[in-house]
Structure formats: C-alpha cells, structure tokens
Structure 1
Amino acid sequence: MSASAPIPSPSAVLDRPLHIVQAAAFPFPSPQGSQVYVRGMARALARRGHRVTVACYAHGVGEADPEYEVIRTPPVPGYDNLRAGPDFVKPLLDAALAWKLAKLGGDIVHAHNYEAPIAAALARIRTRTPIVYCAHNTMGEELHTYFQGRLVRGVARRVGRALDLTVPRLADHALAIHDGAVPVLRELGCAHVTAVPPGIDPHDVRPCVPAALPEGPWVVYAGNPDAYQDLDVLMDAMWRLPDVGLLMISASSLDHWRRQGLPKARFVETGNFEEVRSLLAAATVAALPRTVCTGYPIKLLNNLGMGLPTMTAEGSARPLPGVVSVPNHDAEALANAIRFWVDRPEQCQALGRKAREHVISQCSWAARAVELESVYRAVLARTDGMG
C-alpha cells in the first residue's frame, strides 16, 4: 500500500473483518512468554474471521499455526538467537521489519514490546496504518538487567527510561495486559489506554501423559533464563530444600544454572510445546520468582492451566486461584511456600484443580479476542482509519 492509497471509510472498516498485523520483533514461534501470547492472540482473532498476519524475525522454533499468515524478515546467516535483550544483529532485523510492515499495510498494527512499535511508526509514514501498542514491560525495569557493571547499568537505566517516555506515545492506543499497568502507561503519556489481560487456549493445556522423572516432588520453572526473571532467588530457595527437585525448562541455554551444582535438578532445553506440556504435567508445583512485571507473566496462565499451584513473587502475582504470593527477593519465604504445598499433596492437587478450572472457564482467548476486536474498531473509528 502506498502513502496515497485510498483509506476505507470508518463505517466500511467497522462492518467487515479486519486485516490485523501483529508486529513482533522477535523469533516466532517459540515457547517464550511474548511469543506464546502473540500466538494465542493471532489464532483467536483469526478464528473470529479476521485476516491476521504475524510480522516477525526470520527464525523461530517449530511451525506456526495454519490459522494466520507469517511474514518474516530476511534471514541472517548463522543467527538464531532466541534470547530477549539487545545485540548487534537485532537493529538490522528491526529495520527489515519496518520495511516489511511498510509494504504490508493492513487495517491496524498491533505492535509488541519496544522495537516493533518503532518499526510500525516508521512504516506508518507510508501506510498511515493506526498502531495499537502492547505493553509487555517497561524498559526502565528491564533494559539494565542485560548489562554488567555499575556504570553501564546506570546508563542503561536512563536509556530505558527515555524509551519509556517515547515509544508508547508513538501509538494511537496503548494496551495494558493487566489493570495495574494502566496508570503506568498514563504516566508515560499514553492518552488512550485499555486493559485486556492475556488468555489461554484450552487445547494448549489439555491433559497429557506426564514425562518420566525420578521420584519427586518437583518444582518447575518454564521460561527464559534472563536476569530479570530473578532465578537466583529460586536457586537459593531450592538449596534449602534438598529433597525437592528443580525442573527448569527453556528454549535457551541453561548452562549457567546447570553449573550451580544443585544436587536434585533437571535442566531441559527444548522448544517443543508438547514436550514442555508433558514436563509441566510431571511437576508438583511451579515457581515464578520475577519481582518486577509491568506486563503479565504468560507462564503463570500456562502453569495454572496445567493444574500447578504457582509460588509467585508478589511483583508478578495476579489475583487468580492457584497463585501463592510470596515477598519479593525472599528465598526463605519461597522455600517455605514450596515446602508447605509439596508436603500436603491432597490440598495441593485440589488447589491445582481449582486453578485449572478457573483459567479454562474465565481466561479463554476466545473471550479476549472479542475485547481486542472492540479496541481495534474503536481506534479505527477515532482515527478514521488513519494513524
């Protein structure tokens, strides 16, 4: 679509299925929080009759779903990094993503994290496509965790804050993925903010045969091992529980944690969703030690959907059955919570069943897609289909 291409009238846009572009500046698919979130959203919107395009990096793990189309940046030979955070290649991929978005057009662009809204804003110069920004996090809370050294981390904090005050305002509407993020986005200058929590597809948490593990109990962490996840707190807690096993699952390398020498531990590096599901089914409880989370820990819904009570740092806790909140940065409290529940298997299983029933009945992607669709149509009506 060129800059001079005709824009549909608001009434025409509001009365027909939309072309929704999910701008995702990361590998896709992958069993990581943001990727799982985008995947579930794309499927649900497509099932409502919309044309959904995921624009993402060239690489990923496994195959995308048939319900939506995927447009990728050109591959970079030898580059297959799945980890979040900055590197020297990603700016090239983000520039390529902007070019793809400029050629793609669409009725609305739903841009995730921080690089994708920048790419979408550059593309909008040509397409005039409205942008909905999705706040998975803030850079002020995360960017510095990718660096070492007091000086460098201090600079990263300031850069992160500058990004927070700039990038969300590029969009026509901001989407908070829990109620607590709404005032944060308003403070960052977003005039239009709506909270729509993430959902879950019951098919993704369907019962399965548990993986074979040595005798438990087992505590599972499934997600990326980046510094902002505060896995050192979990590791500290597990040293206090020598009879309880730690099962850590990630699509990225777990070598750092493997070298800690925890006596009863399994470290599984996989991007296979079915394997992850069977490993979750073999665990007794889950742990989520992340202390700061402006967005929504997607792994929390997956854990609860699999019937796992989840010991959760208060910074990531959400008011859902099965969430056991513990103080931030408190390894002793985390260990005590794990001990309480693994020593009471009948109560633990009952809490897990309650968690699963609630998530499946109240947190479906089918219901969330209706809310998202309302946001998109409101944005199109307000902008007359133009960014």
Structure 2
Amino acid sequence: MSESTLKHKVVMVAACPFPANHGSPASIREMSEALVDLGHEVHILTYPIKEDIPVNGPKIHRVWFPFLNKKKVTVGPALEKFVYDPLMILKLIWLIWKYKIDVIHAHNYEGALIGWFAKVVTRRPMLYNAVNNMVDELVTYDFIWSKKFALRLARLLDKTIPFTGDFVTSVSDSLKTYLVDIGVKEDKVQVLPAGVNAKMFAPQEILAVREKYGYTAEDKIVIYTGSLDAFQRIDYLLQATSLIKDSVSNLKLILAANIANQKDLDSI
C-alpha cells in the first residue's frame, strides 16, 4: 500500500468541551471530519461538556465523574479540569490498546501533557498541534492569584510541553519561530494554518445580509468572531480601529462573540 493510500487509526486528545462553537473544539471537529473523509479512523477523547453541534464520522469518547455535571461551555482554566484530565490519561491508554491506535494527536498544552503520559506507556507516536504559547496566554487569566507565579509557570510550560511531541504542527509562522527559538528542532515543526470547511457556508447575497443587520454597501466592515477573553487581545483590534477610523470612511467594527462573560463585555 502506498503512503498516499495508507490509512491510520488516530485518537484526538481534546481536553476541552466538545463539540463547542469556538477555537480549538471547532478546529478539532473539522480536522477530525476531514480525516474521516480521507478514510482514516478517528477517535476523539474529550470532556462530558458539549454543545448541540453535529459531529459526522469520528467516534467520541468522554470521561465522566459523579457530581461534576457542569454544562456551561467556558474557555480557559477551570477546577473540573483537575479531575477530568487525569481521567483522560487513563482512558486514553485504554483507547489506544482497545482500538490499536496508530497516532496520538494532541491539541493544546493539556492535550499534549495527557498525550505524553499515554505515549510513554503505549509507545505510540504523538503529534502535537500547537496553537499558542503560555507566556502570552496564562497571565491573562484570573485563575492564578499571582501574575508573577503565572508567568513563571507559563515559562516552565513553554520549555517543556512543546517538546513532548514527536512532531509539531503550528498554526502560524510566528508561533513556529517562537518554538524554534526556545529549542524545538526546526525540522520537527511544520506550519499548518487552521483550515475552513467552505461547505458549511451557504451562498448569500452580500447586500441582503448587510441590510439585514443595518449596514449599507458603502460601509467598510471589519468582523471579529470568537471569544472575548483577554488573551485574544481585542484591545489591539480596538486600538487599531481607533488609529484608522479617521482615514477610512464608513468604517464599522463588528464583534461577533460566541462566548462572553460580563467582565469581558465591561472591558470593551
């Protein structure tokens, strides 16, 4: 069988609510469905928290613990992760043995750490999908009481977790540069931007959509979609908009937030 037709059994390590309509969960869902379309067998290991979004093709496996029945989808650190993540290590090892998994595909730092434990036990190769670094992100959360401690922890995570994968995919050139600068071998990192499944978007008449939401054909529209968490640096977008608004006529900025708490809304 040629390399182009070789089919694999892959387990996606998604230490997050899944499916969910934001960031990593959305990327994992579309990536998994695309792999299934290519003929691969895909399993997704994740939390019990989810949104009502169809997932076509992959087999989903969830960890569970009594009394932890939180249903609200959130982004970032949470206490229940300290229960779910160790359970995911055990279940991941079991899934690898039961389904004879070929490759561990770990997403984000938690997924990589969970995947690394299973990699050590099962001797399966692990692909780490890097979407961020912790020095930029961890300090933006209020979960850790001390920003100084959060920064030290972030630096420690950055110097360890990206090295756990046998190979690394990075969502951007700048993140690859950061990974190489901290010591990850350049030939182990491949830039692979998040793809878009265009089939999800039905063709629309642009002017009709603008009129529906109160905009005209002359408006210059900039749209941000996603969560409003501090690590997304919405403040940069607002500052940039402020700098160019006088030179760009009819400039409109739309923040289409799918996850927003009151603190995030108050900060805008």
Q: Which TM-score bucket, shorter chain as reference?
A: 0.7 to 0.9
Q: How much has 1:163 moved relative to structure 2?
A: 0.4
- Separation in structure 2 between the aligned mates of residue 203 and residue 12 of structure 1, nearest angstrom: 29
- Does structure 1 residue 255 correspond to structure 2 residue 262? yes
Q: How much has 1:108 moved relative to structure 2?
A: 0.3
Equivalence map 1:160-171=2 (5 Å): 160-171=154-165
- Separation in structure 2 between the aligned mates of residue 37 and residue 101 of structure 1, nearest angstrom: 20
1:137 counterpart residue number? 132
Q: How much has 1:244 moved relative to structure 2?
A: 6.0
Equivalence map 1:173-184=2 (5 Å): 173-184=167-178
Q: What are the superposed Cα offsets for residues 303-360 of structure 1, whole Å, 9 maximum, x if unpaired?
A: xxxxxxxxxxxxxxxxxxxxxxxxxxxxxxxxxxxxxxxxxxxxxxxxxxxxxxxxxx
- Separation in structure 2 between the aligned mates of residue 235 and residue 171 of structure 1, nearest angstrom: 36
- Does structure 1 residue 155 correspond to structure 2 residue 146? no
Equivalence map 1:157-306=2 (5 Å): 157-191=151-185, 192-208=188-204, 210=209, 212-215=212-215, 217=219, 219-235=222-238, 246-256=253-263, 258-259=265-266
* Distance change in 2, residues 1:50/1:252 (3 Å): same
SS for the counterpart of 2:168 is strand
1:283 counterpart residue number? none
SS for the counterpart of 1:114 is helix
Query: Structure 1: which amino acid aligns with 2:214?
Result: P
SS for the counterpart of 2:173 is coil
SS for the counterpart of 1:55 is strand
SS for the counterpart of 1:109 is strand
Specify which of 79, 95, 99 is matched with residue 104 of structure 1: 95
Q: How much has 1:127 moved relative to structure 2?
A: 2.1
* Distance change in 2, residues 1:178/1:155 (3 Å): same
- Does structure 1 residue 83 correspond to structure 2 residue 74? yes
- Separation in structure 2 between the aligned mates of residue 220 and residue 177 of structure 1, nearest angstrom: 20
- Separation in structure 1 between the aligned mates of residue 165 and residue 8 of structure 2, nearest angstrom: 18
Mean alpha-carbon deviation: is it higher for 35-44 or for 249-258? Answer: 249-258
1:353 counterpart residue number? none
* Distance change in 2, residues 1:185/1:234 (3 Å): closer
* Distance change in 2, residues 1:207/1:113 (3 Å): same
Q: Is the 8 A contact 1:24 1:54 kept in 2?
A: yes
- Separation in structure 1 between the aligned mates of residue 167 and residue 180 of structure 2, nearest angstrom: 11
The TM-score normalised by the length of structure 1 is 0.57
Specify which of 86, 89, 100 is matched with residue 95 of structure 1: 86
- Separation in structure 2 between the aligned mates of residue 148 and residue 22 of structure 1, nearest angstrom: 26
- Does structure 1 residue 113 correspond to structure 2 residue 92? no
Query: Structure 2: which amino acid aligns with 1:214?
Result: G
Q: What are the superposed Cα offsets for residues 139-182 of structure 1, whole Å, 9 maximum, x if unpaired?
A: 11110010389x81121111001001111112211122233333
Q: How much has 1:246 moved relative to structure 2?
A: 4.7
Q: How many residues align?
A: 250
Q: How much has 1:205 moved relative to structure 2?
A: 3.1
Specify which of 11, 18, 36 is matched with residue 26 of structure 2: 36
Using CA pairs under 8 Å that are at least 6 residues apart, name the structure with larger relative contact order, 1 or 2: 1
SS for the counterpart of 1:174 is strand
- Structure 2 unmatched runs, 5+: none
Query: Structure 1: which amino acid aligns with 2:89?
Result: A
* Distance change in 2, residues 1:86/1:113 (3 Å): same
RMSD of aligned Cα (Å): 3.0
Query: Structure 2: which amino acid aligns with 1:133?
Result: Y
Q: Is the 8 A contact 1:174 1:185 kept in 2?
A: no
Over the matched positions of the two proteins, sequence identity in percent amounts to 27
Mean alpha-carbon deviation: is it higher for 203-212 or for 59-68? Answer: 203-212
Q: How much has 1:223 moved relative to structure 2?
A: 0.2
Q: What are the superposed Cα offsets for residues 89-143 of structure 1, whole Å, 9 maximum, x if unpaired?
A: 1121111211221111110011011001111112224322111111110111110
Q: What are the superposed Cα offsets for residues 339-382 of structure 1, whole Å, 9 maximum, x if unpaired?
A: xxxxxxxxxxxxxxxxxxxxxxxxxxxxxxxxxxxxxxxxxxxx
SS for the counterpart of 1:197 is coil
Specify which of 9, 18, 28 is matched with residue 19 of structure 1: 9
- Does structure 1 residue 50 correspond to structure 2 residue 47? no
